[in-house]
Amino acid sequence: MSKFVEWSTELSVGIEEIDAQHQVLVDLLNQVHEAIQQRQGMEVARGIVTRLGEYTRVHFAVEESLMRILHYPGYEGHKRKHDELIEQLAELHAKLDAGKAITFELTLFLKTWLTKHIMEVDQHYVPHFLARGIDPMLAKKSWVKKLWGR
């Protein structure tokens, strides 16, 4: 069975740490989709969505910290887009807490948001980061892989 979102070079920003984090987000989205597809139950899906929300906050904090450290001129607009998704995830949690089901429409929305954000919005900071001397490798083994088991 193919994955809901396949990791590809199109999703890569070319900076290992950020790519590793994006891969975790893709994996969590695939887990949500699979849980719905296999009718694993609301609690399983809710748990994955909770992890997705928590990890999204971690990832956004890393990106935003790098933007501030490297004086990225598009920081405010990029952060606004992050804040909007965090708000949408909070609304999703409220719906889940009220007993609403997680639907395929939701996973399609998340897939579209994630892939579009990475391929369009995140790509804007890459030239700036590289021009400021950021090392695309950042580390031999990403810290995110150590913490999140990837």
Question: Where along the chain do its domains lie?
Answer: 12-148
- What would be the CATH architecture of the domain defined by 12-148? Up-down Bundle (1.20)
pLDDT tens, position by position, 75-123? 999 999 999 989 988 888 888 788 777 777 778 888 898 899 999 999 9
Flag the least confident range among 42-51, 65-74, 76-85, 119-128.
Answer: 42-51
The per-residue pLDDT for 60 is 96
Confidence band (pLDDT; 50, 70, 90) for 139? very low
Task: Identify the residue with better confidence: 127 or 48.
Answer: 127
The per-residue pLDDT for 68 is 96
Q: How far apart are CA 45 and CA 102, in angstroms?
A: 7
pTM of the full predicted structure? 0.84
Residue % of the chain over a pLDDT of 90: 43
Q: How far apart are CA 116 and CA 133, in angstroms?
A: 26
- Is residue 24 packed enough to be buried (19+ CB in 10 Å), middle (13-18) or exposed (0-12)? buried
The per-residue pLDDT for 108 is 85
pLDDT tens, position by position, 7-23? 998 999 999 889 999 99
Name 79's Cβ contacts closer than 8 Å, sequence gap at least 6: 64, 67
Q: How far apart are CA 11 and CA 137, in angstroms?
A: 16
**Residue 150 predicted with pLDDT over 50:** no
